[in-house]
């Protein structure tokens, strides 16, 4: 099980989900760059960039 948190570049959390399989629907989000934090069960955090056009 993992937890996913998505932040805009201002640092506001815009999405949060938890589960074995997580999907993100960004169709209603404003255009821009978002940071996606994937928090694994062991506490490890992976950060990825998400670009919404």
Measure the CA–CA gap between 23 and 4, rounded to whole angstroms: 9
- Phi, psi angle pair for 22, to nearest 5°: -120, 130
Give the pLDDT score at 14.
Answer: 97
Series of mean pLDDT values for 10-residue runs along the chain (53 residues)? 93 95 92 96 96 96
Measure the CA–CA gap between 33 and 4, rounded to whole angstroms: 16
Give the pLDDT score at 34.
Answer: 98
Measure the CA–CA gap between 20 and 44, rounded to whole angstroms: 15
Domain ranges of the chain: 2-22+31-52
Q: What residues contact 35, with CB distance under 8 A and at least 6 apart?
A: 6, 7, 8, 9, 47, 48, 49, 50
Give the pLDDT score at 1.
Answer: 72
What pTM did the predictor assign?
0.87
């Amino acid at each position: 099980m993992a937890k996913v948190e998505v932040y805009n570049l201002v640092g506001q959390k815009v999405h949060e989900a938890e589960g074995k399989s997580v999907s993100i629907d960004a169709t209603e989000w404003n255009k821009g760059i978002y940071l996606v934090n994937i928090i694994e069960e062991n506490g490890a955090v992976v950060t990825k960039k998400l670009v919404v056009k």
